[in-house]
Amino acid sequence: AEPPLEPTVEAELADVYKEHTFVQTSPRVSAATEKRMVDAISDGLWQAMKKHENLVLMGQDIAEYGGVFKITERFVDEFGHGRVRNTPICESAILGAAVGLSIKGMKSMVELQFADFVTSGFNQVVNNIAKMHYRWGQHVDTVLRMPTGAGVGAGPFHSQSNEAWFFHTPGLKIVYPSTAEDAKGLLLSAFEDPNPVMFFEHKAMYRSISGAVPDDYYTIPIGKARLVQEGEELSVITYGMGVHWATRAASQLGIDARILDLRSLVPLDYEAISETVQATGKVLVLHEDTLTGGIGAEISAWINEHLFEYLDAPVMRCASLNTPVPFAKSLEEQFLPTARLQTVMLELQEY
């Protein structure tokens, strides 16, 4: 007979992800080129394809057409149709193929044309991809690229910020860069990680955000936040487009704000969050996703539970309205947190 099961919390948690020891890779040469985020992501994908010969890219119109955002343009000429594969308009099938490839020892990247469309493959993500290693030790070595975000007049079905849907699902890792340099480095790290990584890319940042990006291959650790700027009056904890909103608002208001870019949502960098809270005692959590049930609620709860004695004001949140993303420009502007951000920052400053 089987011996009695003796459960331990440590063993349970260890089963959620395949063990992975991250080894940071620095560029071998110092050369860097000014790149838009869209180009940095494309560069990272290209270098990942060169490094991992078992990597297959899948998505709608990603081969000859290069994808709706042109990130894989010319890839099929270099790597061929066997590794750069157009797929049917059937997200559940594409994601299922990623599971099958991993079982056969392959790596994959799935480009969800818009992050909204993942709903058509939701079962594959939350019940197969996320849980497979926990259930029977089979990891799913895939990166799901998720073009996300509003502010581009695309309406309710092409603009959602849906990272919180997956934040609540054990077994997934979630990355959301705000700079071109981070986008490339974190993407390359995602391909080295044998666990499923959801890689959120804000569409409005593709061609509006640029910066110096190392030309060579490099990685950035998943789960480590980045301190954007020091400040003594209040702290803003944010990610994605929120980093740029917070930086601009603080400058316009003349507020000496400490801004923390989470970069990774799963796992969260609790050490960096703790340091940021203790640095100012006043904390605003900012994200584009709708307010109720957003990631800001979890961060706020954690701060109140673990760092209450360091607070000089209630933890505040600023996020989008609890509505679908509107089409009309004026309604979309009202929907986004930027419509309320300066007011909330001033309220926190004056508390």
Residues tagged active-site: 158
How many degrees, rounded to 5, is the angle at CA 207 between CA 205 and CA 211? 80
Asked if residue 260 lies in contact with residue 237, where contact means CB atoms within 8 angstroms, the answer is yes
As a residue count, the chain comes to 351
Residue 283: which of 228, 227, 237, 319 has the closest Cα? 237
The alpha carbon of residue 302 and the mean position of all alpha carbons in its chain are separated, in whole angstroms, by 20
Largest CA distance in the chain: 70
Q: Which residues pair with 201 in a beta bridge?
A: 147
- Cα–Cα distance for residue pair 89/120, rounded to 1 Å: 10
The answer for residues whose C-beta is within 8 angstroms of residue 144's C-beta and 6 or more apart is: 95, 98, 109, 110, 112, 118, 125, 129, 196, 197, 198, 199
Phi, psi angles (nearest 5°) of residue 131? -105, -10
Q: CA separation (Å) from 250 to 109, 234, 346? A: 37, 10, 10
Distances (CA, A) of 266 to 147, 164, 200, 225, 298: 18, 10, 12, 11, 12
